[in-house]
């Protein structure tokens, strides 16, 4: 049994954030679904366009051989493809396919519907409390993620844009 921090300690907050993230992920992930890294990689390709394997591996926090295997599986499923960089034909990029975009769109729709169904089980007052809490927490969580992915010398510059969205 792990020791629990007080509600107001950094340990208690870390535990609470972890619990919430795990509960939401468990509710949204279906059996036989793609791995979180696979979905995140497809989503990154959909949002940012084609990328090198090395860039994807670094962005997802996995080793390049692992990303190579993941991309191979996504290619076999028809969700991603390797393409030549138009600016340098020697470079191979990974791109999301139309099927991959469709899958991401369907996942978003299903996740939204699952969350709406879940939220409908709460009384109106509780939904209002949760809405207000999310309005406060969302920019702070975005800032935490930005801090984790931005080199220290640039983190301060990015603060305003993360908290304003």
Report the distance separating Cα 41 and Cα 29, nearest Å: 16
Domain ranges of the chain: 29-121, 124-165
Predicted TM-score (pTM) of this structure: 0.72
pLDDT at 163 over 50: no
Q: Where are the beta strands (DSSP E) in the chain?
A: 80-85, 88-96
The per-residue pLDDT for 160 is 46
pLDDT value for 9: 87
- 164: Cβ–Cβ under 8 A, 6 or more apart, which residues? 139
Fold of 29-121: Arc Repressor Mutant, subunit A (1.10.10)
Q: What are the C-alpha distances in Å from 26 to residues 17, 37, 39, 62, 83?
A: 14, 15, 15, 22, 34
Could you read off the pLDDT of 123-136 as tens digits, one per residue? 999 999 999 999 99
- 13 φ/ψ sector (left φ>0, alpha ψ -120 to 50, else beta): alpha
Average of pLDDT values for 43-53?
A: 95
Angle of CA points 16, 18, 23, to nearest 5°: 95
């Amino acid at each position: 049994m792990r020791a629990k921090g007080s509600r107001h300690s950094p340990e208690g907050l870390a535990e609470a954030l972890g619990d919430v993230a795990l509960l939401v992920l468990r509710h949204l992930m279906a059996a036989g679904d793609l791995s979180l890294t696979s979905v995140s990689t497809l989503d990154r390709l959909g949002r940012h366009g084609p990328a090198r394997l090395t860039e994807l591996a670094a962005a997802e926090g996995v080793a390049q051989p692992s990303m190579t295997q993941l991309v191979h599986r996504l290619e076999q499923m028809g969700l991603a493809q390797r393409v030549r960089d138009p600016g340098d034909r020697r470079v191979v990029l990974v791109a999301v396919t139309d099927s991959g975009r469709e899958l991401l769109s369907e996942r978003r729709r299903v996740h939204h519907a699952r969350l709406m169904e879940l939220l409908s089980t709460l009384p109106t007052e509780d939904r209002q409390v949760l809405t207000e809490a999310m309005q406060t927490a969302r920019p702070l969580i975005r800032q935490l993620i930005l801090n984790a992915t931005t080199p220290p010398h640039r983190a301060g510059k990015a603060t305003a844009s993360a908290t304003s969205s």
